[in-house]
Amino acid sequence: MKILVLNSGSSSIKFRVYEARGGSLEELARGIVERIGEEVSYFTYKSPRGEIRYEDVIGSHEEGLRRVLKALTDPEAGVIGDPSEIAGVGHRVVHGGDVVSEPVVIDEGVEEAIERFAVMAPLHNPANLAGIRAAKKVFPGAVHVAVFDTAFHQTLPEEAYLYAIPYEYYEKYRVRRYGFHGISHMYVAEKAAELMGRPLGELRIITCHLGNGASVAAVKGGRSVETSMGMTPLEGLVMGTRSGDIDPSIFYFLMKWEGLSADDVYELLNKRSGLLGLSGVTNDVRVLTERMLSGDRAAERALRVYAHRVKKYIGAYMAVLGGVDAIVFTAGVGEKSALVRRMILEGLEELGIVLDEERNEDPAAHGYLISSDASKVKVYAIPTNEELVIARETLRLARERMGGG
Ligand code: ADP
């Protein structure tokens, strides 16, 4: 049984194909269609049987997916004979609001929910929906499943998800905290439990997904009980280009002082803030690290603010969880930046968190463990694998659907 996983952005489609063999999923191929709808688009595909790369005009998501199908059925590099071999298509969807709390087979109601919450994820949900509608045309025989970034956090208690503004806005507009990156937080929490050889159900884990977007989650017994992103992905940690937490009055004063519109300030906080805004140079942590090490004050300032915010959340979530058994770092920065991990964890020895310098430099060589043997809390740097979670959930629901007729 083969599963296609799609991550559709506004101008790109990332895809992977898996085959279910016994109890496990094996990756057969992967690729990306980039710059859809622009003057020139890029197509990249790779399987153990060969690679396909070209530039062409690819005008829409549907056209992009037809190219994906063409590559998948290519006589040389392909991995399937015809589209009916794809039993399930799993779609990553960013915002499911409080309507969806687990992976679901996509029907009209699900599409309607994705549309309804698009107002809170204007860059992501419409693109996700475009991908779903296109895929239904190109793979009409497959079971289409949506896996939501918000779903894992639907277990947040009321005191964690409500904002202290008039309650009527929660009732009227569903203004509340939802949280994101749920697929990744869930995956690495499960992985950490596996590495510890303990049941997830008895563990308190803090997961730090530090990519271009970044969030922290407190996971108790496998359920998310707190997370740093809010109604939208703007809240919480300092990110590549997003401010994370700020005093909401700043919105008001920037409008007044700079003569900006609400749209302008919203754009400034989402696209021109965070590491980019602080450093004035880039949101790329690799570049900032090089610059900091060669004495650049602005780069150092940006990384310090970044690390301080994560540290603060770790402390807060230890209080929320009543202690912590493991801390996990994942995503681009979390997996790869030994420096940022060190900056976050330094000074936490009194709290039972002790980093091992050697392990921190090369986590993969040490079973992803980066804490010292003296550390009460286990600390890991684990590669996330959101596509695998989506494939797993899609396979489960496709089997259920087929089994049930
Ligand atoms: P996205 O959120 O877009 O999926 P990723 O999880 O791929 O992003 O993370 C992107 C971030 O990871 C970028 O800021 C990049 O600088 C950072 N990154 C990637 N490789 C390294 C590295 N070797 N050292 C430090 N940071 C890295």
Ligand 1 centre to CA of 82 (Å) is 36
- Which residue do the tokens 């884990």 mark? 205
- pLDDT for 405 equals 46
Ligand 1 atom index nearest CA of 384: 6
Length in residues, the chain: 405
Ligand 1 centre to CA of 332 (Å) is 3
Instruction: Provide the whole-model pTM.
Output: 0.95
Ligand 1 centre to CA of 124 (Å) is 20
Ligand 1 centre to CA of 286 (Å) is 8
R_g of the chain computed on alpha carbons: 22
Is the Cβ atom of 286 under 6 angstroms away from ligand 1? yes
- pLDDT for 379 equals 98
* Tens-digit pLDDT profile for residues 17-38: 999 998 899 999 999 999 999 9
Of 337, 342, 362, 387, best ligand 1 pocket probe by most atoms within 8 Å of the beta carbon: 337
Q: Which domains does the chain have, with CATH numbers?
A: 2-148 (3.30.420.40), 199-381 (3.30.420.40)
Is the Cβ atom of 101 under 6 angstroms away from ligand 1? no
Is the Cβ atom of 332 under 6 angstroms away from ligand 1? yes
Is the Cβ atom of 336 under 6 angstroms away from ligand 1? yes
Is the Cβ atom of 300 under 6 angstroms away from ligand 1? no
Is the Cβ atom of 341 under 6 angstroms away from ligand 1? no
Q: Out of 82, 98, 149, 245, which one is annotated catalytic?
A: 149
- pLDDT for 223 equals 98
Is the Cβ atom of 244 under 6 angstroms away from ligand 1? no
Of 238, 330, 333, best ligand 1 pocket probe by most atoms within 8 Å of the beta carbon: 333
Is the Cβ atom of 240 under 6 angstroms away from ligand 1? yes
Cβ count within 10 A of residue 78: 20
Does 149 qualify as catalytic in the annotation? yes
Is the Cβ atom of 361 under 6 angstroms away from ligand 1? no
User: Alpha-carbon distance 66 to 63, whole Å?
Assistant: 5
Ligand 1 centre to CA of 284 (Å) is 7
Ligand 1 atom index nearest CA of 214: 2
- pLDDT for 404 equals 57
User: Alpha-carbon distance 302 to 307, whole Å?
Assistant: 9
Of 34, 181, 281, 336, best ligand 1 pocket probe by most atoms within 8 Å of the beta carbon: 336
* Tens-digit pLDDT profile for residues 85-95: 999 999 999 99
Instruction: Report residues of the chain scoring pLDDT below 50.
Output: 405
- Checking DSSP bridges between strand 223-227 and strand 214-220, what pairing results, if any? antiparallel
How far is CA 110 from its chain centroid? 20
Is the Cβ atom of 331 under 6 angstroms away from ligand 1? yes
Q: Which residues fall within 8 angstroms of residue 375, CB to CB, at 6 or more apart?
A: 352, 353, 354, 355, 356
Q: Which of 193, 160, 194 minimizes the C-alpha distance to 317?
A: 160
Ligand 1 atom index nearest CA of 209: 6
